[in-house]
Structure formats: C-alpha cells, structure tokens
A and B are shown apart, each in its own frame.
Chain A
Amino acid sequence: MLSRRVIPCLDVDRGRVVKGVRFVEIRDAGDPVELAAFYDAEGADELVFLDITASHEERGVMLEVARHTAEEVFIPYTVGGGMRSAEDIREMLAAGSDKISLNSAAVRDPELVRRTSAIYGSQCIVVAVDAKKVAGRDRWEVFINGGRINTETDAIEWIREVERLGAGEILLTSMDRDGTNIGFDLPLTAAGTSAANIPVIASGGAGELEHFAEVVVEADADAVLAASTLHYGKLTVRDIKEHMASHGIPVRL
C-alpha cells in the first residue's frame, strides 16, 4: 500500500541550515548534507530544502548543497526558493535534486510550470502555495514573496490551475497556522486535497503528534511537512510515523 510521507523541511541560508537544529548526534548542525543524512537514517521519506538566501549572487551555493546531497543521501529531495527561470530549474535538477518547488515564480510566470513540467516531467515540479484567510472574504488567498504580497487569487482555484499547467505536487502551507504549533489547518488542507488530483503536502502549524495523524485522517493529506518540531528535538520522524501507524495510516517504518 502507498505510504503517507513524513518530510522534514530544512531552511538553508547561503549553504547553512538555519533555525537551529539541536541534536547531540550531529557534528555540524549547520551542514545541510549531514542533517539530510541524519533524517534519512531516522526514516524520513523525503526532504525539502528551502533556500532562503536573499542575495542572488550567492545562489550558486545551493547548487553545491544539492550536488553533495546526491552523493550522501538516498531518499528523494526537493529544493525550493529563488528559482525564477527554466535555466535555474534545469541547473538544480542537473545538480541532483529530484524535484524543485516554485512559489512566487509560478504566480508571476505560470507558463514556467507548463514549460518545465513538459520538459522534465510533472513528477519533479512542485508548486508551493502559501495560503491565508483574508478578513471579510470566505476563501484562502495566495500570498507570495514570503507572505508579504497578497495576490488576491483564490488558493483552491490556483491549485486547480497549476495542476492543469502540469505541476506534479502541491506543497500547501497555511500562513494562519505556520509557527503556531496548534495543528495543521484542516479545512484548508481538505479543500486542497479534494480539489487536486495530485498529491498535497500539508504544511504549517504542527506541534504535537496528534496533528500529523489528524491531517491525514481528516483532511486526506498525502504527506506532512515538519520543521521546528523535528529540528528542536521535540519529536522524531519515528515518533510521528509510529503515531500515524497506530491510527491505521500506512507509513514506511
């Protein structure tokens, strides 16, 4: 049976992991490759590297991270952040990334999703959607530029649109829940998974074990993303998977 996936997300700035990962087992907690190998050994199903490097000149560093990861880590990984052109995407896939994730770039240039999925296959083009409820409107809207700009686009409509364009997967982040630790946004995730015929990764808000099982059982998430709860050592990938399994969710243990 197809497993539901648990995916750690690492924020990388100029080649170093930020948002302090605290493990005694890790020699260099800032080294993305070492952390990726750690999560592979812990049973992570995939990894997401979110490149938050602001300066465009230093973007090449992420290509190096992708290359080294391909040498050391034998689970699939996605790189997101900062890619704007088909050439950026080509380079990142050639460096060894299994998938790339587009957020603002997909909104500004939806054709980019269509063109690159036609060339490289839908399976390697993920569209990240940052969604937020807007006061007075009964829908979630898509925000870009790290949540600073409201595109005033209906998030669920946008998910349908990028699927039509050729996206192979949706990384759906609730901006209302991100960083709250009170649980995933179940209505948003459920709306996303019922609109999409491609897998949806739920993101934002997880803090307790229960949250991970809940978003799969109640909102049909195909995968769950975890960041701070894992990095600060509160939960392990194994804890999350065992908990999911105890709720009858198929996971790879």
Chain B
Amino acid sequence: MIAIVDYGMGNLRSAEKGFEKAGVEGVFVTPDTERVREADGIVLPGVGAFRDAMADLERTGMREVVVERVAAGVPLLGICLGMQLLGSMSFENGEHEGLGLIPGVCERLPSNVKVPHMGWNTVAYPQASPLFEGVEEESAFYFVHSYHLRPESAADVIGRTEYGVPFASAVAKDHVYGVQFHPEKSSEMGLRILADYGRIVHGREAS
C-alpha cells in the first residue's frame, strides 16, 4: 500500500488518479498518521508555502511518522513542495527547518527569469536512477515553483534542469526520492515515473 499524505495542501486527486492510471495498485490519500505508518510507500505531495506545510506536518505528528518510517526503509517520494520539504532548510519567507532527509537548502529562483517557473521543461539525468526507468533522456515535465532545493552533495542529484540557473529537479538518497515537477501533470512520461516509484515500493515488499 502507498499512502499519499494529505496535509491540507493542494489537490491530491490528480496524484491518486495518476498512480491508478499508471497501473500502481493500493494507493490511497490519507491525513491519518496510523495509516501512513502502515504503508509500504509514502508520497509527500504539495503546493503552497513551505512554512505552513512543515507546521502542519509537525502539528499532526506526521513529521515524526514520516521520518521514522523512512529510517525503517520505507521509500518516500516528495513531489514539488514535497521535494523541497526533504531538505534541511528553506529561505521561503524567512528561515524554516525542513525534514532534513536530503542535506541542502531551498532558495528562490534567480530574478533574471519569470518566477514562478511555470510550464514544461526538460530534465537531464546526471546519473541513472530506478525512478527514471524507461523515461527518455531530455523528456519534458510540468513545473510550477518559485523555490528550488540545492542539495549539498551532487551525489544526491538525479535530475537537472536549466531555468535561469541549472538546478536539481530530481533528487535521491538511498530510498528517499524527490521531483520538483509534477509527474501527475506530465502526461505519459510523468505517469511512467509514478509507475517506477510503484515498482520501487512493491519490489522492496517482494524481496
């Protein structure tokens, strides 16, 4: 079972339906920490403000559950804001601590380009990842964001995109994954990534 964490941010229907369309079974949306605790995979979606999202995860006890399950080996996928939350800290309207699963800080995109970065942009893959199995090189994905995560270690970067500056558009550290774009809004290639994540989760269950 894969839990999409509902922490009051944004519309989660598309993510749930995207998994369904991609053929991944047993995906459900829940705000319930107990159901997340029992899941074999956790998806952290999100649009909105970093601070509000962290405050909500904290208040509901979801932060503790997510960190604890990741420590136990459960694969995590952060989408958009969900990827930024994986970092150590964000400078979005102040300074806010993140989940600290991928060392790095979130910074605003440079001012020489239109912000938010909105639309389809290509992703290059500095290293192979099971998350991009079957995804063609230089495929485009749908982005909507004003901040981006800058991982401390290049080893954690599995996707790179150019917008004003080159930035990490996908990260992975062990079984923690994050994508800055919206796979559930990126048509066929996006759904392939959801299918890949499903395989990562279910492959681990089987082994």
- A residues lining the B interface (CB < 8 Å): 1-3, 5, 40, 45, 67, 70-72, 74-76, 93-94, 96, 98, 121-123, 168-169, 197-199, 222-223, 252
List A contacts of B162 (CB < 8 A).
Answer: 1
A169 touches B118 (CB 8 A): yes
List A contacts of B144 (CB < 8 A).
Answer: 76, 123
Q: Which of A1, A96, A198, A223 contacts B13 (CB 8 A)?
A: A96
Q: Indicate whether B11 reaches chain A with its CB closer than 8 angstroms.
A: yes
List A contacts of B14 (CB < 8 A).
Answer: 70, 74, 96
List B contacts of A123 (CB < 8 A).
Answer: 47, 116, 118, 144
11 extra A-B contacts, CB within 8 A, seeds A45-B120, A70-B17, A252-B120: A1-B162, A2-B120, A45-B142, A71-B17, A74-B18, A74-B184, A96-B11, A96-B14, A121-B47, A122-B116, A199-B119
Q: Please, how many angstroms separate the alpha-carbon atoms of A1 and B169 in the complex?
A: 13
Closest B residue to A75 using CB positions: B187
Q: Please, how many angstroms separate the alpha-carbon atoms of A56 and B11 in the complex?
A: 25
Secondary structure class of chain A's binding surface, majority of residues: loop
List A contacts of B160 (CB < 8 A).
Answer: none
Interface string of B170-192 (1 = CB under 8 A from A): 00000000000010111110110
Q: Please, how many angstroms separate the alpha-carbon atoms of A96 and B142 in the complex?
A: 16
Q: Which of B48, B182, B190, B191 contacts A121 (CB 8 A)?
A: B48
A94 touches B119 (CB 8 A): no
- B residues lining the A interface (CB < 8 Å): 11, 13-14, 17-18, 21, 47-48, 114, 116-122, 140, 142, 144, 162-163, 182, 184-188, 190-191
Closest B residue to A198 using CB positions: B114
Contacts A74-B21, A121-B47 given; indicate if A168 touches B118 (C-beta within 8 A): yes
Please list the 8 inter-chain residue pairs (A to B) with the smallest Cβ-Cβ separation, ordered nearest first: A252-B140, A3-B120, A252-B120, A123-B144, A71-B17, A2-B121, A70-B13, A76-B185
List B contacts of A94 (CB < 8 A).
Answer: 11
Contacts A93-B11, A197-B114 given; indicate if A223 touches B119 (C-beta within 8 A): yes
List A contacts of B187 (CB < 8 A).
Answer: 40, 74-75
A3 touches B119 (CB 8 A): yes
Q: Please, how many angstroms separate the alpha-carbon atoms of A1 and B166 in the complex?
A: 10
List A contacts of B18 (CB < 8 A).
Answer: 74
List A contacts of B117 (CB < 8 A).
Answer: 2
Q: Please, how many angstroms separate the alpha-carbon atoms of A76 and B116 in the complex?
A: 15
Closest A residue to B140 using CB positions: A252
Cβ distance B114 to chain A, nearest Cβ, rounded Å:
6
B116 touches A71 (CB 8 A): no
